Amino acid sequence: MAGRSKAFVEIAGRTMLEHVLESVLAVPSLGDVFIVGDSVRLQSLLRASGMLAFAAQAGRVLHVLPQRATLYDNVWHGFLATLPSGGVDPDRSILVVPADIPLMVPAELEEFVRLARAQSVDYVLGLTPDLAMAPYAPRDGQPGIEMAYFNLAEGRFRQNNLHLVKPLRMESRHYIQNMYESRYQKELSSAIRLVFQLLVRELRHLWFVVPYLLLHVSGVLNRRGHLRAADFVRRFVSLRTIEHCIGALLRTRFRTVITGYGGAALDVDNDADLAAAEKMWDRWRSMQTERAAIAMLNQP
């Protein structure tokens, strides 16, 4: 983005990586942080920004790992780097956080981790409802970020980019890369490509195709303004069905949890998103802080 790696793109006077790291380091229940990317540039940034000192004060260590060819390789080798020398625990989990969600606040991350750890599963993905994301969309002459949603029987949700994973419990973890490459919900070609890969490799799970295509059809109808038709189609695709599909494909126990903040779901993906986030930064950041304060007041 803007001709640079997104981690090093500045917004509100700091790189996106710094914003994300600050939130991660503010959650005491998390351990050391492993950062994958350009090792030389990352080391320089961490020293110059004071992040190394900030991490030390928080009792945490920042590890820098070289970037590899694919998302899957980055996460897998990042996980391997976390393993202790004394043996391998198949239930060892990692939290995967991208560098392009600068509006995430510590309370949002803490909420996701708490909810995810309460699930007796091996892979938890976060979702955020459309109502929580509405203030970030363009409206009333103000810039915003256009977002795609999963249209499900329970409502419309956006992936919030947070993953709590036990990699050794995922028997078909190689499919993560395929799913990542087909992640753009607005592109029908991506959906068709993923379906074709399933048909070739997973004939035993041919039933996946029906809910998957219904999910995309409802999304297309919604984006084209056919709201009643979209609502009718999404009645036949429940969140539990999608969870079952993903879990069966990855051969793991998969669940989602819902968080209501929105910052982690607001990934800054391109130059237009960056321009909108820069202009709306103070308002959006204040909104996130206010949501965190309200959540704290409502805690029992």
Quote the pLDDT of residue 104.
95
Q: Quick count: other Cβ atoms within 10 Å of Cβ 11? A: 17
Residue 236 lies in a domain: no
Half-sphere exposure of residue 128, counting CA atoms within 13 Å on the CB side?
26
Contact 241, 211 (CB under 8 A): yes
Contact 125, 243 (CB under 8 A): no
Quote the pLDDT of residue 8.
94
- C-alpha 99: how far from its chain's center? 10
Query: Would you put residue 125 in left (φ > 0), alpha (ψ -120 to 50) or beta?
Result: beta
Report d(CA 85, CA 5) in Å as an integer: 33
Contact 37, 67 (CB under 8 A): yes
Assign 129 to helix, strand or coil: strand
Quote the pLDDT of residue 286.
93
Token readout for 151 is: 């249209």
Q: Regarding beta strands 10-11 and 14-15, do their DSSP bridges make them parallel or antiparallel, or are they unpaired?
A: antiparallel
Residue 18 lies in a domain: yes
Residue 155 lies in a domain: yes
Please write the tens of the pLDDT for every residue from 245-291: 889 888 899 999 999 899 999 999 899 999 999 999 999 999 999 99
Quote the pLDDT of residue 205.
63
* E strand or H helix that includes residue 150: strand 150-152
Residue 113 lies in a domain: yes
CA angle 9/14/15 to nearest 5° reads: 30
Number of domains in the chain: 1
Quote the pLDDT of residue 50.
93
For tokens 């909108």, what's the residue?
276
Which ranges of the chain have pLDDT less than 50? 185
Quote the pLDDT of residue 131.
94
The one-letter code for the residue type at 292 is A
Quote the pLDDT of residue 15.
96
Q: Which one-letter DSSP state was computed for residue 30? A: -
Token readout for 3 is: 């001709």
Residue 157 lies in a domain: yes
Please name the residues in contact with 253: beta carbons below 8 A apart, sequence gap of 6 or more.
120, 121, 122, 123, 169, 247
Which CATH number belongs to the domain containing residue 123 in this structure? Answer: 3.90.550.10
Partnered with residue 163 across adjacent β-strands are: 96, 125
Quote the pLDDT of residue 275.
94
- Supply the DSSP string of 182-211, one letter for each residue: T--TT-HHHHHHHHHHHHHH-GGGGGGHHH
Quote the pLDDT of residue 227.
92
Residue 185 lies in a domain: no
Range of the domain at 99: 6-170+252-298
Report d(CA 251, CA 232) in Å as an integer: 31
